Structure 1
Amino acid sequence: MNGPLVVLGAALLTVPIGAPPRSGSDAPPVAVTEATWGRRCGAPAGNATAYVRERCADTAVCLLDVDPERLGDPAPGCEKRLEVTLACPVGAKTSARRATGASGDRLVLACADVIDVREATYGGNCGAPDGNATSHLADTCEGQPSCRYVIDFEALGDPAPGCSKSYRARWSCTGGGPAQRIEVPAEAGAKHEIALRCPVAAKQSRGAGR
């Protein structure tokens, strides 16, 4: 089997590293219809709309950090979430697309189908903590329709000295569908290259159940 192992739902498939990336240049700009910070805490609907529109103006993909210091505190003592609704064109009509996140999360807002990194772990087989490589992968790949990423121990550090470490990553696509996962066995940090893309090619999905 060539290439790393990818898990889509319960199916297994390989992703060809050399596949050309898909361009998102034709994607429509982000159109925020409403953003609410702390709806479940009684905050008024739309209280963050102006802020999110300003942060995401004139861009097809907006990476928005949920920052309480910028959003303010409409409901002290209550754990709040930011809920954002976009209007995305579908033919001659529009369709609502929603994203939500808690304090410290990063929302990927786009009408295009792009990568939203959920978790990445380097050395999980050696007892390293889950998610210890998430931010590094997100900084490289988040918000792109496809991404080639090199697992480099010099960049990731050594969370478990003396142990041959594996690598796993989990991401979703803003267009929906099941979460995807890719795994590389021990010695993953020796500059193995993986490919993330949205969506998984139809021919890969069809072959997954064989």
Structure 2
Amino acid sequence: MTSVAATPAPRARPRGPRIGRALKPVVFVILLAPAAWLTFALLTDRLQGDVVKIIEIDTGTLALRSLAYTLAITPLRQLTGWSWLATYRRMLGLFVFFYATLHMLIYFGLDLELQFGEIWASIAKRPYITIGMVSWLILVPLAITSPNAIAKKLGGARWKQLHRLTYLVAITATTHYLWAVKKDTFWPLVYFGLFAALLLVRLVRLRRTASTTRS
């Protein structure tokens, strides 16, 4: 009498990565929706008051908000075990650059009307513009090195080291916001507190990992 080995049941694929990929278009639309709304409102004269200033402020706020989402990915993934959250990190980072670039172009193109003399004077004489430009310039190499092909050429260690500059952007961008508003400092301070908390969580985690490795 021969025994027939039972055919092992196929392993179910983890649901997490599938959820991450399935929701990616939804997250993209959610992140792009504010830009679409601002464009629609601008073209249909739905904005009241100083229109340029409104979209300038809104795009800057959207850049900071996207930055907060980006920096929250790793702590949330570590706290919840939802590794699929990492699926959104690159997209979120690129939206930071997208909204920061819109913010800058609106200021230079619509507010200063591409008057290069005024642009250089603004960068040189207004500290909040100077630090805002520094923030954008730091974002440029981060955006350029986002594609997987470039990340592989850089190597994992160098890529991670470069992208830690995201935390520096959090400091410089929030300082830009604080200096720009001058008196109404509530939201800039909220962002400062949020970024400080996210950085603290990250540092604690890195310290624990280093201690475990040494032991």
Q: Scaled by the length of structure 1, what TM-score is found?
A: 0.24
Name the structure with the higher strand share. Answer: 1
Name which one, 1 or 2, has greater alpha-carbon Rg.
2
More helix by share: 2
